[in-house]
């Protein structure tokens, strides 16, 4: 979705990065003294979500850049650290949780990178395996054409030996990554889905073929890879479709270069339902056999999830017997009946992910 207006917080108006961003974006620009006026403007729009995707607010991160992933009580959590570089996204997936997560949702990019560097330096001083990602509150790579974010982050991670950065995306904005001496400390990750889900539910994103081609190119540049089958959507014929995605994935990239694959079926907070109904009236995604989970999210009925996951895990195992598979927010019963063990039996999910990062990315353990 094109950005229609750039809004710049007066406090950062004369910063060098802001001038460069403004030149690259080349859209009408407005300066504001108070960013809460922008939030009010977005909140009062007929479709605040749409409005929040069409403006880009440049400001500072008033809180911490590094946050712990909140996880969810009662489900196994991956213990990953969020690097909070900005919020929201100008692609438009019907199921995107960010539509109801932020009040209001606004595409904003934080430019106080001196603070980010200081927090990362502090984190890197602790010689313990850490996994960071920028793809929790935004897509990691939508910023590529407007900012120098990857030029800042990839070398920063390259120069230390206890942490990895995972960049998770549905774009193919990889061009600048060819030049980096990344030292395998940046994991290039794609969310994958069936052609049907991408076409019907992931507006303004790239095709499955394009994502796989980008992954293959990054592999040829030496980057470790990761993939996220999340959210998987159950529909008639979905099993065949997901099986084909798995076949296409492993006929494109080498299983040995995949650090991890996450699996998760579609789930949503009840507050998201009216937004999907209003913004995506043709979407059928919310009309399935859902029950309220322990995390207050609607999830597919457990026996359906279990039977589906068992097939997906088996198909991945056929092509990639050693690849590390994990569930995003599922309980021990699902783990035991699909993967064959619970995270606790193997030292916890966070520890298993750390070990995979150490093995694939050459971290010091
Ligand atoms: S790509 Fe990710 S962040 Fe962007 S709209 Fe889709 S789900 Fe949301």
Provide the CATH number for the domain around residue 335: 3.80.30.30
pTM of the full predicted structure? 0.97
Q: Classify residue 245: in a domain, yes or no.
A: yes
Angle subtended at Cα 9 by Cα 6 and Cα 11, rounded to the nearest 5 degrees: 145
Q: How many angstroms separate the alpha carbon of residue 292 from the centre of ligand 1?
A: 23
Structure tokens at 47: 């479709």
- Assigned domain for 25 exists: no
Number of domains within the chain: 1
**Residue from 105, 198, 205, 262 whose mutation best tests the ligand 1 pocket (most atoms within 8 A of CB):** 205
Angle at 297 between CA 294 and CA 302, to 5 degrees: 65
As a whole number, mean pLDDT of residues 274-298 equals: 93
Sort 265 into a burial class: Cβ within 10 Å, 0-12 / 13-18 / 19+.
buried
Ligand 1 center from residue 89 Cα (angstroms): 6
Give CA–CA dist 52/355, Å, rounded.
39
Q: Is residue 336 part of a domain?
A: yes
Residue 330 domain boundaries: 66-85+129-361
169 and 93 Cβ atoms separated by less than 8 Å: no
Q: 207 lies in a domain?
A: yes
Residue 72 banded pLDDT, cuts 50, 70, 90: low
Residue 194 in tokens: 């069936």
Question: Looking at per-residue confidence, does 212 or 76 come out higher?
Answer: 212
Are the C-beta atoms of 156 and 123 separated by less than 8 Å? Answer: no
For a ligand 1 pocket test, name from 139, 193, 203, 267 the mutation site with the most ligand atoms within 8 angstroms of its C-beta. Answer: 139
Evaluate whether residue 41 is within a structural domain: no
Neighbours of 24 (CB within 10 A): 11
Query: Residues enclosing ligand 1, CB less than 6 A?
Result: 89, 91-93, 96, 98, 138-139, 170, 205
pLDDT digits (tens, 9 = 90+) for 33-67: 999 999 999 999 999 999 999 999 999 999 999 99
CA of 200 to the centre of ligand 1 (A): 14
Q: Say if 164 falls within a structural domain.
A: yes
The closest alpha carbon to 337, from 362, 302, 286, belongs to 302
Whether 315 maps to a domain, the answer reads yes
Query: What phi and psi, each to the nearest 5 degrees, are found at residue 29?
Result: -125, 140
Q: How many CB atoms lie within 10 A of CB 335?
A: 22
31 C-alpha to ligand 1 centroid (Å): 27
The pLDDT score that the predictor gives to residue 289 is 86
Q: Ligand 1 mean position to 32 CA, how many Å?
A: 27
Q: Which atom of ligand 1 is nearest to the CA of 98?
A: 8
- Would residue 93 count as lying in a domain? no
């Amino acid at each position: 979705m094109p950005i229609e207006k750039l809004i710049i917080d007066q406090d950062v108006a004369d910063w060098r990065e802001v001038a460069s961003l403004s030149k690259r974006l080349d859209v009408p620009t407005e300066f504001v003294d108070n960013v809460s006026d922008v939030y009010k403007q977005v909140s009062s729009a007929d479709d605040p979500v749409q409005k929040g995707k069409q403006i880009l607010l440049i400001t500072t991160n008033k809180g911490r850049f590094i946050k712990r992933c909140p996880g969810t009580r009662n489900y196994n959590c991956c213990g990953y650290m969020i690097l909070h570089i900005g919020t929201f996204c100008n692609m438009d997936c019907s199921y995107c949780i960010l539509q109801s997560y932020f009040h209001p949702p606004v595409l904003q990019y934080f430019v106080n990178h001196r603070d980010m560097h200081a927090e990362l330096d502090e984190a890197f001083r602790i010689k313990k395996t850490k996994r960071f990602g920028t793809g929790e509150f935004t897509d990691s790579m939508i910023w590529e054409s407007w900012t120098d974010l990857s030029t800042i982050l990839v070398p920063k991670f390259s120069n230390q030996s206890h942490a990895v950065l995972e960049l998770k995306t549905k774009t193919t904005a990889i061009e600048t990554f060819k030049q980096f001496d990344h030292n395998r400390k940046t994991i290039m990750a794609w969310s994958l889905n069936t052609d049907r889900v991408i076409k019907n539910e992931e507006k303004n994103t790239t095709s499955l073929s394009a994502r796989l081609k980008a992954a293959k190119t990054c592999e040829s540049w030496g980057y470790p890879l990761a993939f996220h089958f999340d959210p998987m959507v159950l529909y008639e014929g979905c099993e065949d479709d997901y099986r084909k995605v798995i076949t296409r994935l492993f006929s494109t990239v080498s299983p040995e270069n995949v650090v991890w694959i996450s699996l998760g079926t579609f789930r949503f907070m009840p507050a998201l339902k009216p937004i999907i109904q209003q913004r995506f009236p043709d979407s059928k995604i919310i009309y399935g056999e859902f029950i309220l989970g322990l995390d207050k999210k609607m999830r597919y009925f457990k026996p359906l999830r279990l039977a589906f996951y068992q097939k997906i895990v088996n198909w991945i195992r056929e092509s990639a017997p050693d690849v590390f598979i994990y569930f995003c927010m599922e309980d021990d019963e699902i783990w035991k009946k699909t993967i064959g063990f619970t995270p606790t039996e193997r030292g916890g999910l966070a520890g298993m992910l750390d070990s995979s990062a150490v093995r694939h990315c050459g971290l010091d353990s």
